Amino acid sequence: MHLDRLKQQIRFVIEIDKLKRVVRQTILMDRSRLENDAEHSWHLAIMAMLLSEYAAENNIDLFRVIKMVLVHDLVEIDAGDTYCYDEEAIEDQMKREEEAADRIFNMLPEDQSKEIRLLWDEFNDRKTPEARFAAALDRLQPLLHNYNTDGMMWKKNGIKSNQVISRNKPIEEGAPTLWDYAAGLIGDAVRKGFLAQ
Amino acid sequence: MHLDRLKQQIRFVIEIDKLKRVVRQTILMDRSRLENDAEHSWHLAIMAMLLSEYAAENNIDLFRVIKMVLVHDLVEIDAGDTYCYDEEAIEDQMKREEEAADRIFNMLPEDQSKEIRLLWDEFNDRKTPEARFAAALDRLQPLLHNYNTDGMMWKKNGIKSNQVISRNKPIEEGAPTLWDYAAGLIGDAVRKGFLAQ
């Protein structure tokens, strides 16, 4: 029994509880409160299970997609959630998140720290079909929330349709059918007045 | 493009947002509020990724474990969270959850409804090494929360050590090393006064 190794792993399990306190600019479907990163990550993992048939490439490694979405926001424990339409915050986002990755992932035994880091890098680089599909889900999920709450957070943050289109267009690379669907929602949101032209 | 199929899947994705509102009898590590089922499921999925080396049997299908923990609490959208020490509520828990499974899983296209149902049944039956490992994580996670918050929810609910031991003993079947670790925490919790003898 490698008790030191287990203790190190348990310390990490305890540390990442903090992700439940990182609040996003997405409101729950019932509009009761903002969503946090842990809930968001769980939602993406289930979406990956159910929507993989729409991935741009056949036979993607769905297990790796799910692992990627489960860990993709862990760095926000230190770096905080960066709102995708906050251009100032996006500027130093990578630097803040790299530092966070160094601290948080290095709490794990070296083999596991490397594994999580590889998954996180793959997600950010969007060079594999798996990462592009994961990124598509990461965009589609908040869009579903915005559409189904009559654009509440779009309105609150003064977001316009061209911003939403350019944020969500990468869905097409990862899952073309989901992009067609998303583009339909965006158009409909403008028509219904949920989203400013 | 099977638009009806996709619409059915998206309706399910929207429906399960409700899991974020199902509150458990576990307090976050920072004691700020109770945990919800979506956060709990995410936490278990990461624990599965990191702790699979302690599973009772070698070469378990970790992907299936992760899918099981991601969906294991979905029925609580209708059935509510049943506190594991509430003996009255446990009596009709299975009936409530079976009805919930019928409604919620059947929102999906038939192939996916069956897949999720099989995962949920496997989790509940605890007959496979994967299900026993998943069940071990489902017990260890709240124990970590209780231990690291000085037994706050144990005290609030008047829970005693024999109840905690009998609730957590099945960890041994799924992950013997994790049971040794858990038993150590329980003993220590009693010594420190976090848990009544």
Decide if A163 contacts A146 (C-beta within 8 A): no
SS3 B41: helix
**Three-state DSSP state, B151:** coil
Instruction: Indicate left, alpha or beta for B195 from its phi (over 0: left) and psi (-120 to 50: alpha).
Output: beta
Rounded to whole angstroms, how far apart are CA atoms A8 and A21? 22
Residue pair A129/A56 in contact (Cβ under 8 Å)? The answer is: yes
- Cβ pair A42:B67 closer than 8 A: no
Question: CA A102, CA A106: separation in Å to the nearest integer?
Answer: 6
Cβ-defined contact of B36 to A35 (cutoff 8 Å)? no
Residue A12, chain B, CB below 8 Å: the answer is yes
Window B:42-61, CB contacts with A under 8 Å? 42-43, 45-47, 49-51, 54
Chain segment B80-92, per-residue pLDDT in tens: 999 999 988 888 9
Q: Tokens 């899983």 label which residue?
A: B105
Instruction: Give the dihedral sign, CA B119/A62/B78/B84.
Output: positive
State the alpha helices, DSSP H only, in A52-151.
62-71, 76-79, 87-91, 93-105, 110-125, 129-148
> How many angstroms separate the Cα of B73 from the Cα of each of A86, B77, B120, B151?
35, 8, 9, 24
Q: How far apart are CA B40 and CA B36, in angstroms?
A: 6
- Candidates A4, A16, A50, A140: best to mutate against B (most CBs of B within 10 A) is A50
Using an 8 Å CB-CB cutoff, list chain B residues near A24: none
User: For strand B34-36 and strand A34-36, is the pairing parallel, antiparallel, or unpaired?
Assistant: unpaired
Tokens (6 digits) for B79: 């059935």
Contact residues on chain B for A108, CB-CB shorter than 8 A: 50
pLDDT in tens, A119-174: 999 999 999 999 999 999 999 999 999 999 999 999 999 999 999 999 999 999 99
The values of phi and psi at residue A196, to 5°, are -70, 140
Burial A44-57 (b: 16+ CB within 10 A, else e): bbbbbbbbbebbbe
Q: Please, which pLDDT band fits residue B2 given cuts at 50, 70 and 90?
A: low
Q: Say which residue the tokens 């990468």 belong to.
A: A170
Query: 3.40.50.2300, 1.10.150.120, 1.10.3210.10, 1.10.260.40: which CATH number matches B2-192?
Result: 1.10.3210.10
User: Is A14 within 8 Å of B180 when comparing Cβ atoms?
Assistant: no
**pLDDT single digits (tens) B101-122:** 999 999 999 999 999 999 999 9
Structure tokens, B131: 């299900």
DSSP state of A160: B
Q: Which of A3, A38, A50 sits opposite B39 (nearest CB)?
A: A38
Q: Taking all residues of chain B, what is their mean pLDDT, rounded to a whole number?
A: 96
Nearest-Cα distance to chain B for A3, in Å, is 9
CB of B131 closer than 8 Å to CB of B68: yes
Min Cα distance A45 → chain B (Å) is 8
Checking if the pLDDT of A11 tops 70, the result is yes
> Could you tell me if A34 lies within 8 Å of chain B, comparing CB atoms?
no
Domain borders along chain B are 2-192
Confidence class of residue A2 from pLDDT cuts 50, 70 and 90? low
A-chain residues near B68 (CB < 8 A): none
